[in-house]
Every structure is written in C-alpha cells, then in structure tokens.
C-alpha cells in the first residue's frame, strides 16, 4: 500500500515543502534503526545497551514527523542541494557521536571520534581501544562502513533525484570508464552499492575462514572496504597472521579502486575491465614501485641486517602493507614506519597525499586527476614545439572536456593550498599550546596531521604515526582537524562554496522569491 495514501487516511498530510528537512528525516530514521545493531551486541555481551538505545526513540519520532509533515519541494535547486550535502554530513556526525557521548566521553572527543569514522579518516583519540566495550567498537566500525556507502548515496543517488545533475560528483566519476557520461547517475549509485555490499561480504567470509573472531572480523571488514582504518585492537594489524594481513592488503586496494570497475567485472562479467583502465593500472604499479623502494631503503638502512628469505619476505610484506594502507588512505599498520629510514618519510607523505582512484571510498587527490593534469601539461609542452597543432586531453581513449580539465586543476590547487593552510594553523596552535610531551609540534607532525586530515588518511607522521596518540591534542586542534576532515570528505570546492557569503545571499534571495510566489498563488486561489 502506498505510504502517502495510508497517512492521508489517518489525517496526516504534508503541510510544508522542504526536500532538505524530509531527507534528513529519512536519514534520522535509518540511523535510529542502525543503532539497534550495537544495542543487540551489547545485550549479548552483557554490556550497557542504553548508550545506543537512548537516542533511538527520539530519532524515530523526529525523523518520522519530518518525513510525514514535509514534502519534496517543487523548486529544489542546486544551491539547496549543496546545503543538503553539508547538512547530511553534519547530522551523521551528531548522531554517530551520541553513543560515544553517552558512554562517558566529553563532547569534543565524541565528535572527533564520530567525524573521523563517518569521513572514513580513521584518527582516534581512544588511547586503549581494547578497554572499550566491544559494542561501542562495533558502532565505530559501522560508522566507517556507513560513511563509505553514504558518499555514493548522497552524491550519486539522492541529489539526482532532486534534479541536480552530474556536476556535483563529476570529478569522482572521471577515470571510471564512464568519463563519457554514458552511465546514468542512478545506475552508478546502484552499481556502487551492489559492489560495496558484495565485496564487504566476501571480505568478511575470508577473514572468518582464516580464523578471525567474528566481531573482530566485522570490525576489520568495515575498516578495510571503507578505507577507514579504525580497528578494535591496540596494535592494529600487528598481531594477526600473514594470511589475514595479505587479505587486508587486497581489500584495501579494492576499496580504493573505482567501484564502477568492480560492478562491470562482477555484475556484467566484463573481461579485462581492470587491465584496460589506465587509472587502475597506474595505482597498481605506483603501489608496487613505492613498496619496492621502501623495502630497499629498509633493507639497506636497517641497523640490524635482514637475514634469510623469511626476513626479506617480512620486510617486503610490511613495506607493501604500509604503502597500500597509506596510499588507499586506510591507516591500518603492521609496522611502525616512523622507524624506517628518513628517506621514506617524504615518499610516504606523497603516497598519502595522492590517495586512490576516483569513484572509491579513498581520499586524497586521486590518480585520475593527476592523469588529467599530466595530459594537460604534456599538451601544453607539445604546443611549444607545434603551435598550430590541436591537442585533446584524453582518458582511456575518451576526450575530457575543458570544463573538467579546469575543474581538476582548480581542485588540485585548492588541495595543495588546503594542506599548506592546515599545516600553518596546526603549527600556530602547537606553538601556543605544547602538545607532545610538553614540546611544540614540529613541522613533520604538522604536515602529517594536515595531509592525513584533508586526504582522510588515518595516520600521521612523526609523533603522530602508527603508535602516536591523538588524545594528547588540545580541543582547539581537534576542532581544526575535524573541520579539515569534513572539508576533505565533502570535496574542497563544495566546502568553499558553502563557506562563501555570496552563496548564502543567493540562497536567501531564492527563498524569498519562492515565498513570494507561494503567497501570490494562495491569493489567486482564495479569489477564485
């Protein structure tokens, strides 16, 4: 039975128009239902389920009323869509923070943990993870998993339904094999979700087959496929078997691969889809090449000589795991890479800054954008030699339009500027408020924190590397990092638009115009 008809029979009819309020209501109901999962785990394990159950009823009531009393706006515009994007993330942050707040964390720490999870960044302020209730860690893992899939639900499915075109998520689709825009947005969303669910299931089954505890396997699956990186153990992946670590390498890589490729390979059974995609090939060879370089640095620079085939295997496996983890912006670790030779630090920072493929859950600049920039620069050098020649920027044989090239160059520049601005802010706060063992935050710490926040990377460098503790940060610095994580996940251009006063003037002017039109329409109906 149609829900709208059922509601009308009991006298409940939408009274106001607001697509934003109605959509947020749906989101609140979904999160209320999801909170029942860790509540059930808490009951089974003898933990307190009230930290999860307490928000359920208020969220169901509030979300239900928003859905029933508001209908979709007939004049929903792109400016409204951008506001919706920002509000969706903020609402998810607030709801996800509630269990942490009810479990005893202060407000800033609760929000930090929630923002880190939902944005799939993977920074944590919890010093002893294993001392926390397992149900709370399950919720944290779910927040990462939901954050990964919500990217697509928001950008590729919800907004097109409201009449907003592909332009919102253009850069994420470039390099996907759909750069010609042959695939509709709604189908892209469905294909992503299908692949995301299937890969999550396969990852979980493999972890269980190789002997992992079911709850730990669930947490690791969520941390891997979402490229979120928050684990339920204090030493991340150090204590797990080689088989588990190798499976994790594979699924971190798959999580950072464009999910449209997964869909074509799994659902459509297209052969050679990965091999034919230039972005995928670039990422594969980049990770392998960097892993070899890091391995060589470790082997030649180690104070203790590595002996035997087993020692070299372990060194290369650790180098590969570290490279893939940082490159996919996951943040899991099997080794303290801050103890590697100094030459590795800059190299691994670059790896973390670039990130993975477009159309994936990973952060960073993305290989597709670098490929477009490379083709653009190559064409400009070619024009110096052949001024009258006509060059096109191409991805996988398809031409990339000038607007996409300009957008890519803009995003790249803004990304670099954001890292510089973020580093400056962190240094300024660190100077005035000593953090690490009473000392100022040095340049390596600052750059590492800026890169890992903007790229949603999960691990810093220096004192904030794999074994570092983000709980030592001041609240002011935690707030700065939260904003940077949000900006990085939101996409920098979108965030800057939301922070522009002219955008809000346009929005308010549009609102006044719509209100004026609705009043005129009511007057005409009353006269009639």
* Cα separation values, 325 from 113, 160, 451, Å: 20, 33, 14
Task: Give CA–CA dist 150/137, Å, rounded.
Answer: 20
Residue with tokens 């509540």: 39
pLDDT digits 0-9 by tens, 212-271: 999 999 999 999 999 999 999 999 999 999 999 999 999 999 999 988 888 888 888 888
Segment 198-206 shows an average pLDDT of 96
Segment 511-527 shows an average pLDDT of 59
Confidence band, pLDDT 50/70/90 cuts, at residue 8: low
Q: Of 448, 452, 446, 456, whose CA–CA distance to 425 is shortest?
A: 446
Q: Could you give the dihedral angle defined by the CA atoms of residues 172, 174, 180 and 183, in that order, rounded to the nearest 10 degrees?
A: -30
Segment 284-301 shows an average pLDDT of 94
Give the pLDDT of residue 167. Answer: 43
| The pLDDT of residue 168 is above 50 | no
Q: Please give the DSSP secondary-structure letter assigned to residue 398.
A: E
pLDDT digits 0-9 by tens, 42-82: 999 999 999 999 999 999 999 999 998 888 776 666 666 77
Domain boundaries, the chain: 76-366+403-490, 500-528
Confidence band, pLDDT 50/70/90 cuts, at residue 511: low
Q: How many H helices and E strands in the chain?
A: 24, 4
Give the pLDDT of residue 171. Answer: 45
Stronger pLDDT, 130 or 268, i.e. the higher one: 130
Q: Of 364, 287, 335, whose CA–CA distance to 465 is shortest?
A: 335
Task: Give CA–CA dist 278/371, Å, rounded.
Answer: 9
Confidence band, pLDDT 50/70/90 cuts, at residue 175: very low
pLDDT digits 0-9 by tens, 315-356: 999 999 999 999 999 999 999 888 888 889 889 999 999 999
Task: Give CA–CA dist 216/129, Å, rounded.
Answer: 12
Q: How far apart are the first and last CA of the chain?
A: 35
Q: What are phi and psi of 76, to 5 degrees?
A: -70, 120
Residue with tokens 């990852």: 203
Question: What predicted TM-score, i.e. pTM, was given to this entire model?
Answer: 0.87
Confidence band, pLDDT 50/70/90 cuts, at residue 491: confident
Q: Could you give the dihedral angle defined by the CA atoms of residues 345, 144, 90 and 501, in that order, rounded to the nearest 10 degrees?
A: 40
Q: What does DSSP say about strands 70-71 and 394-395: parallel, antiparallel, or unpaired?
A: unpaired
Stronger pLDDT, 324 or 169, i.e. the higher one: 324
User: For residue 436, what are the β-bridge partners?
Assistant: 439
Give the pLDDT of residue 166. Answer: 46
Q: Of 485, 482, 476, 462, whose CA–CA distance to 433 is shortest?
A: 476
Segment 391-396 shows an average pLDDT of 75
Task: Give CA–CA dist 321/317, Å, rounded.
Answer: 6
List, in sequence order, the alpha helices (H) in 331-490.
343-354, 367-385, 402-432, 443-454, 475-490
Q: What tokens appear for 130 in the block?
A: 């294993």
User: For residue 439, what are the β-bridge partners?
Assistant: 436
Task: Give CA–CA dist 389/264, Å, rounded.
Answer: 36
What sign results for the dihedral spanned by CA atoms 487, 283, 336, 203? positive
Q: What does DSSP say about strands 398-399 and 70-71: parallel, antiparallel, or unpaired?
A: unpaired
Q: Please give the DSSP secondary-structure letter assigned to residue 158.
A: I
Non-local CB neighbours of 339 within 8 Å, separated by 6+ positions:
none
Task: Give CA–CA dist 449/460, Å, rounded.
Answer: 5
Residue 90 burial class via C-beta count within 10 angstroms: exposed 0-12, middle 13-18, buried 19 and up: middle
Stronger pLDDT, 110 or 521, i.e. the higher one: 110
CB distance 114 to 107 below 8 Å: no
User: For residue 462, what are the β-bridge partners?
Assistant: none
């Amino acid at each position: 039975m149609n829900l709208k008809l059922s509601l009308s029979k009991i006298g409940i009819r939408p009274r106001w128009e607001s697509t934003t309020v109605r959509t947020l209501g749906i989101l609140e109901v979904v999160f209320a239902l999801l909170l029942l999962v860790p509540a059930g785990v808490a009951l089974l394990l003898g933990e307190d389920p009230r930290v999860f159950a307490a928000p359920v009823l208020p969220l169901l009531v509030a979300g239900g009323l928003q859905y029933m009393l508001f209908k979709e706006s007939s004049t929903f515009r792109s400016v409204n869509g951008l506001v919706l994007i920002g509000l969706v993330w903020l609402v998810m942050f607030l709801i996800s923070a509630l269990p942490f707040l009810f479990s005893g964390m202060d407000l800033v720490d609760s929000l930090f943990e929630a923002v880190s999870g939902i944005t799939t960044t993977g920074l944590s302020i919890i010093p002893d993870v294993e001392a926390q209730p397992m149900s709370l860690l399950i919720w944290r893992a779910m927040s990462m998993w939901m954050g990964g899939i919500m990217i697509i639900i928001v950008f590729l499915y919800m907004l097109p339904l409201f009449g907003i075109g592909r332009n919102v998520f253009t850069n994420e689709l470039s390099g996907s094999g759909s750069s010609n825009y042959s695939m509709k947005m709604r189908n892209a969303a469905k294909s992503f979700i299908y692949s995301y669910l299937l890969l999550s299931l396969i990852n979980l089954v493999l972890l269980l087959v190789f002997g992992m505890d079911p709850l730990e396997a669930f947490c690791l699956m969520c941390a891997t496929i979402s490229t979120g990186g928050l684990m339920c153990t204090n030493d991340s992946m150090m204590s797990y078997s080689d088989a588990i670590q190798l499976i994790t390498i594979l699924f971190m890589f798959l999580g950072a691969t464009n999910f449209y490729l997964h869909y074509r390979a799994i659902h459509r059974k297209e052969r050679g889809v990965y091999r034919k995609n230039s972005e995928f090939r670039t990422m594969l060879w980049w990770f392998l090449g960097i892993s070899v370089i890091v391995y060589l640095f470790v082997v030649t620079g180690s104070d203790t000589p590595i002996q035997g085939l087993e020692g070299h295997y372990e060194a290369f496996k650790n180098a590969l795991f570290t490279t893939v983890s940082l490159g996919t912006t996951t943040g899991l670790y099997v080794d303290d890479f801050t103890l590697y030779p100094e030459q590795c630090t800059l190299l691994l920072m670059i790896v973390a800054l670039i990130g993975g493929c477009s159309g994936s859950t990973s952060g960073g600049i993305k290989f597709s954008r670098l490929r477009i920039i490379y083709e653009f620069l190559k064409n400009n050098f070619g024009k110096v030699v052949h001024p009258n020649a006509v060059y096109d920027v191409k991805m996988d044989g398809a031409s990339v339009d000038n607007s996409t090239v300009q957008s890519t160059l803009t995003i790249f520049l803004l990304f670099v500027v954001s890292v510089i601005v973020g580093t400056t802010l962190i240094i300024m706060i660190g100077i005035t408020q000593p953090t690490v063992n009473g000392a100022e935050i040095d340049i390596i710490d600052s750059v590492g924190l800026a890169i890992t926040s903007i790229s949603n990377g999960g691990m810093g460098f220096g004192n904030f590397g794999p074994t570092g503790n983000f709980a030592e940060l001041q609240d002011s610095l935690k707030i700065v990092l939260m904003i940077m994580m949000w900006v990085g996940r939101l996409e920098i251009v979108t965030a800057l638009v939301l922070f522009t006063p002219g955008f809000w003037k346009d929005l308010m002017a549009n609102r006044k115009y719509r209100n004026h039109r609705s009043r005129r329409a009511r007057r005409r109906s009353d006269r009639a």
